[in-house]
Amino acid sequence: DAGVIQSPRHEVTEMGQEVTLRCKPISGHDYLFWYRQTMMRGLELLIYFNNNVPIDDSGMPEDRFSAKMPNASFSTLKIQPSEPRDSAVYFCASSLFTGLTEAFFGQGTRLTVV
């Protein structure tokens, strides 16, 4: 397996624009997580899915953020409209069972909102 695949690797957009980040988890993994990494706040869990169903989105900062998982092999994180404070590295991760097994992380998407 190629691991967790995220696209794009880098995204630069203007404030107010819609941004969509994409993730392909490892085949067969039941859980998918979206994290955000910033210097100020470190790594924060935004939302996670179990079997394509969103379980907890309490980490999503605002209504401008939304995430979907239409099937077991694809998820998106959308920001609309984007703001400069959304600039961060966004990681997608997947795992078989939470807590007991490790999460495998993608390479991340570095988002810059100007």
Partner 1 sequence: AQSVTQLDSHVSVSEGTPVLLRCNYSSSYSPSLFWYVQHPNKGLQLLLKYTSAATLVKGINGFEAEFKKSETSFHLTKPSAHMSDAAEYFCVVSARGTYKYIFGTGTRLKVLA
Instruction: Give me the least distance between CB of 102 and partner 1, in Å please.
Output: 5
- 52: contact with partner 1 by CB under 8 A: no
Helix (H, G, I), strand (E, B) or coil at 84: helix
The Cα angle at residue 50 between residues 47 and 51, in degrees rounded to 5: 135
**Which CB sits closer to partner 1, 48 or 65?**
48
Among 27, 56, 85, 112, binds partner 1 (CB under 8 A): 56
- 54: contact with partner 1 by CB under 8 A: no
Query: How do beta strands 10-13 and 109-113 pair?
Result: parallel
- As a whole number of angstroms, the distance between CA 65 and CA 102 comes to 26
Burial 83-93 (b: 16+ CB within 10 A, else e): eeebbbebbbb
Among 90, 94, 106, 111, binds partner 1 (CB under 8 A): 106
Q: Which residues bind partner 1 (CB under 8 A)?
A: 4, 31, 33, 42-43, 45, 48, 50, 55-56, 91, 93, 98-100, 102-108, 110
